[in-house]
Amino acid sequence: MEALLTLKEASKKYGSREILTDISLTIRQGECNIVRGGNGSGKSTMLRMVSGLIPLTSGQRLLKHSDIVIGYTPDRLSKLRMTSTEYLTHMGRISDIPKRELKDRIRELHVFFNLEQNEHVKMSQFSKGMLQKTNLMQAMMKTPDILVLDEPFSGLDKESTGHLVHSLKKIKDEGTSILAAVHDPLLAGQLESNTYWIRQGRLSEENRSISAEQKAVYFELEGMIDRDIMDHLLEFFPDITYKSSESGHLVLTLMYEDYRGFLPEFINKGGEIVSLTRKELELSL
């Protein structure tokens, strides 16, 4: 497949601080590329570089042709005092979409994302899932060649996540390329994709030889450990995510390939395991 967009040795600096260094990435039609990395690693900066929203400090951004349409969704959409139709109409006018075509496209997108086109409900009343759907709709006002998503699953419940994954699979099957920054390793596994990591400002492709059965297995560990020690462990096990439970314990999500190496380190560093549960990823969401 031909490359739609290529970054070649692209770097970004803010003042004397270098955020990204020598980033090289090729986006081909119909592919899904997932970018992972810790908070502040430069994921959002890279997505904005790909989208053409910020200039490169050095390197090249090459497009297959000048008319390539790139849809971009930021990591959050504000709860505006507008209906989804009013907001999308405004965004469509900015994009110079003809009035009759715009009306049809807005209706089509509401149907596609299963969001009621209600003229009385403002976005200020929307749930997180409804806002994310609207966020995606504004990025697809013109059918994009490349859809760039910054943490599209952030804060969504299981049902909303399932609907969004299903929608993205349909978009990809129709030929749109997807580039998404995704923190959660379980969600990264929902989309057939190439996975990249940003570490210390550099991009590398993940090449792990793991069977399909292993990819579907993960573990949930509930336990207690000093937060600073936990954050230090994550430097060596960056695929692991955690959150606090109502009881005050940490709930960790470990992928199959990490748990054998992580458990001894967790215990040796003073961690206490309250429970450890083996689970399987629902690949058919």
Domain boundaries, the chain: 3-205, 212-280
DSSP H helix total and E strand total for the chain: 9, 13
CB 196 within 8 A of CB 34: yes
- At residue 207, the pLDDT reads 61
Query: How much of the chain, in percent, has pLDDT values that exceed 90?
Result: 56
Query: How much of the chain, in percent, has pLDDT values that exceed 70?
Result: 92
- At residue 195, the pLDDT reads 86
In the numeric block, the tokens 């859809």 are attached to: 147
* pLDDT at residue 209 is higher than 50: no
pTM (predicted TM-score): 0.76
- At residue 4, the pLDDT reads 95
How far from the centroid of its chain's Cα atoms is residue 204's Cα? 17
* pLDDT at residue 284 is higher than 60: no
Residue 281: pLDDT band with limits 50, 70, 90: low
Rounded to whole angstroms, what are the CA distances from 166 to 112, 114, 160, 161? 11, 11, 10, 9
- At residue 189, the pLDDT reads 65
111: how many CB neighbours lie within 10 A of its CB?
11
* pLDDT at residue 285 is higher than 70: no
Which of 36-40, 62-66, 236-240, 255-259 holds the top average pLDDT? 62-66
- At residue 26, the pLDDT reads 96
Long-range CB contacts (within 8 A, 24+) of 256-262: 256/210, 256/214, 256/215, 256/217, 256/218, 256/219, 257/208, 257/210, 257/214, 259/219, 259/221, 261/237, 262/233, 262/237
Q: Which fold has domain 3-205?
A: Rossmann fold (3.40.50)
pLDDT, one tens digit per residue, over 15-52 is 999 999 999 999 999 999 999 887 788 999 999 999 99
CB 152 within 8 A of CB 132: yes
244: Cα within 13 Å, side-chain hemisphere: 5
- At residue 243, the pLDDT reads 85
**Top CATH class, 212-280:** alpha beta
- At residue 188, the pLDDT reads 63
Cα–Cα distance measured from residue 26 to residue 6, given in angstroms and rounded to the nearest whole number:
4
DSSP string of 148-160? Answer: EEESTTTT--HHH
Cα–Cα distance measured from residue 152 to residue 136, given in angstroms and rounded to the nearest whole number:
9
Which of 7-11, 149-153, 212-216, 218-222 holds the top average pLDDT? 7-11
pLDDT, one tens digit per residue, over 138-148 is 999 999 999 99
Largest CA distance in the chain: 66
Tokens of 153: 């699953």
Cα–Cα distance measured from residue 282 to residue 285, given in angstroms and rounded to the nearest whole number:
6
pLDDT, one tens digit per residue, over 154-196 is 777 777 788 888 888 889 989 999 999 987 666 666 677 788 9
**Least-confidence region, from 109-118, 152-161, 168-177, 257-266:** 152-161
The rounded mean pLDDT for the chain is: 87
* pLDDT at residue 266 is higher than 70: yes
